[in-house]
């Protein structure tokens, strides 16, 4: 059988990543060069610095991906790249690099939506998944409930109206002095909290709405910190972290179950950086079990930004002949539709 080998590139935010994926399933290599330590001192990603680091890192990250996969440029069938959404300067580095590599080899170029890539991390981990599916996509930039009717066929049932779930984790962690990225720090602090921690509000929005809002919860956590500071009281960070995490998880789980019911999907997928959260995995798993739904999620290293997920999404576009032209450009505000 012909092996289909795709080199995938991801530079939408602060990870420079390249991977080689065989037949849309087998991860021959998956290299991620994280800039977390570079941006940590600023408390978040600085776009200009991110672009510069992508420029410096992309050549060796690609070399390493090919070397580890034991694949040469000449053996590749296509080059795939994330072209949105993300930071424009960061995306452009990957797009320009991928275009040059595809043109030099005379092979197809495939543009991939980063959000779609996150969803497809599930097809890498569980290739036999069948449709219809319902995916909760929770990352630093996005919070979406998506019904999948087939490869590339999406219906967005709900999305955040303000902060993304990961963004709320990051902002609250920063205010608590826990550092960046906030998700893993809050998860670790919450593990030492008392029970469900400090009670914070949950935004359910209008009855029946599958949209999210995390800015009120974020403000409530920040107000709690400010009030304590004004009174000179010490905040129990573990209890605050536990209360915040619980409020996010409750809303994510509640709305995901409602969306599964509405869409009629019997299988739920979890995707994006926040899908690495252990409390979310546990509680969504429990809720799905009670409702007779199957839940799948990728291993933690495929939840956060990586190029393997981009290569997997690209494979299905390759099969469908969906190729990009040399005019492919970065689309920083790209949506899923
Ligand atoms: O998907 P991702 O790597 O990048 C984007 O596309 O945004 O997601 C990064 C986000 C960050 O906000 C980070 O704090 C969050 O995922 N995150 C977590 C955890 N690990 C990463 N949030 C909660 N719990 C975690 N364990
Ligand atoms: Zn991402």
| Domain ranges across the chain | 5-119+303-320, 131-298
Cα angle vertex 317, ends 313, 321, to 5°?
Answer: 165
pLDDT reported for residue 46:
84
pTM strictly above 0.85:
yes
pLDDT reported for residue 107:
98
User: How many other C-beta atoms can be found within 10 angstroms of the C-beta atom of residue 286?
Assistant: 12
pLDDT reported for residue 45:
82
Residue 251 burial by CB count (10 A; 0-12/13-18/19+): exposed, middle or buried? buried
pLDDT reported for residue 87:
95
Q: What is the CATH number of domain 5-119+303-320?
A: 3.30.420.40
pLDDT reported for residue 202:
97
pLDDT reported for residue 269:
98
pLDDT reported for residue 61:
98
Q: Which residues have CB under 8 Å from 330's CB, separation 6+? A: 83, 84, 86, 88, 91, 92, 95
Q: Could you check whether 5-119+303-320 and 131-298 share the same CATH topology?
A: yes
pLDDT reported for residue 187:
97
pLDDT reported for residue 6:
98
Ligand showing the shortest atom-to-Cα distance for residue 181: 1
pLDDT reported for residue 194:
74
Quote the ligand 2 centre to 21 CA distance (angstroms): 18
Residue 183 CB less than 6 A away from ligand 1: yes
Q: What is the CATH number of domain 131-298?
A: 3.30.420.40
pLDDT reported for residue 39:
80
Q: Which atom of ligand 1 is nearest to the CA of 141?
A: 7
pLDDT tens-digit series, residues 171-220: 999 999 998 889 999 999 999 877 788 999 999 999 999 999 999 999 99
Measure the CA–CA gap between 195 and 209, rounded to whole angstroms: 29
Segments in the chain below pLDDT 70: 1
Measured CA distances, 6 to 22, 66, 98, 257 (Å): 7, 10, 11, 35
Residue 214 CB less than 6 A away from ligand 1: no
Residue 246 CB less than 6 A away from ligand 1: no
pLDDT reported for residue 237:
96
Measured CA distances, 31 to 92, 137, 209, 265, 274 (Å): 19, 23, 39, 34, 20
């Amino acid at each position: 059988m012909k092996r289909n080998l795709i080199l995938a590139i991801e530079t939408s935010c602060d990870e420079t990543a390249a991977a080689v994926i065989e037949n849309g399933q087998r991860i021959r290599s998956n290299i991620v060069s994280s800039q977390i330590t570079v941006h940590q001192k600023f408390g978040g990603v600085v776009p200009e610095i991110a672009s510069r680091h992508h420029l410096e890192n992309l050549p060796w990250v690609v070399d390493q991906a090919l070397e580890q996969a034991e694949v040469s440029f000449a053996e590749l069938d296509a080059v795939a790249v994330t072209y949105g959404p993300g930071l424009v300067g960061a995306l452009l580095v990957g797009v320009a690099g991928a275009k040059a590599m595809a043109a030099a080899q005379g092979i197809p170029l495939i543009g991939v939506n980063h959000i779609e890539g996150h969803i497809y991390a599930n097809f890498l981990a569980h290739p036999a998944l069948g449709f219809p599916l319902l995916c909760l996509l929770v990352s630093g930039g996005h919070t979406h409930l998506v019904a999948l009717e087939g490869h590339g066929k999406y219906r967005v049932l709900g999305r955040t109206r303000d902060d993304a779930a990961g963004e709320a984790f990051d902002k609250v962690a920063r205010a608590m002095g826990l550092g960046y990225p906030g998700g893993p720090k809050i998860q670790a602090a919450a593990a030492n909290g008392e029970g469900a921690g400090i009670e914070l509000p949950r935004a359910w929005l209008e009855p029946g709405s599958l949209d999210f809002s995390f800015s009120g919860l974020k403000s409530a956590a920040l107000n709690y910190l400010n009030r304590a500071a004004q009174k000179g009281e010490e905040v129990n960070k573990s209890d605050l972290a536990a209360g915040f995490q619980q409020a996010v998880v409750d809303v994510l789980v509640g709305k995901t179950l409602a969306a599964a019911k509405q869409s009629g999907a019997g299988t739920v997928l979890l995707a994006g950086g926040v899908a690495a959260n252990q409390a979310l995995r546990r509680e969504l798993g429990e809720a799905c079990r009670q409702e007779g739904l199957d839940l799948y999620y990728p291993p933690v290293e495929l939840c956060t930004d990586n190029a393997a997920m981009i290569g997997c999404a690209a494979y299905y576009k390759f099969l469908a002949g969906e190729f990009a032209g040399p005019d492919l450009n970065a689309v920083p505000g790209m949506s899923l539709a």
